[in-house]
Amino acid sequence: MESATSERRFRIWIARYEDWRPRGWSDQPPRAVALELAEIEAMASEQAAEYLQGFNEEMRGRRKRLWAVAIAVDLMFRNEPQPGDLIATR
């Protein structure tokens, strides 16, 4: 049985962009190349926004064309026991 979490979650990726000038930390490049995952854990929208603000404000004044981008993800839990299920620990 599979189930998705009800709250929307985001993973933050650091991306490289070309030919674009952000006006603010929340702007998103029209095209970017994913370089690396910034954090392992998926974040709630408020936490993701805080991460984007901190990282992107820092990057705005730099020559490196790096930008943090929040990607909405669906988390799936497979083989999650349900109440009443027998749990085998060996």
Domain spans, the chain: 2-77
Higher pLDDT, 4 or 90: 90
- Sorting pLDDT into bands at 50, 70 and 90, what band is 6? low
The DSSP code sequence of 9-78 is EEEEEEEE--S---SSTT---SS-EEEEES-SS-B-HHHHHHHHHHHHHHHHTSSS-EEEEEEEE--EEE
pTM for the predicted model, two decimal places:
0.77
pLDDT single digits (tens) 7-55: 789 999 999 999 999 999 999 999 999 999 999 999 999 999 999 999 9
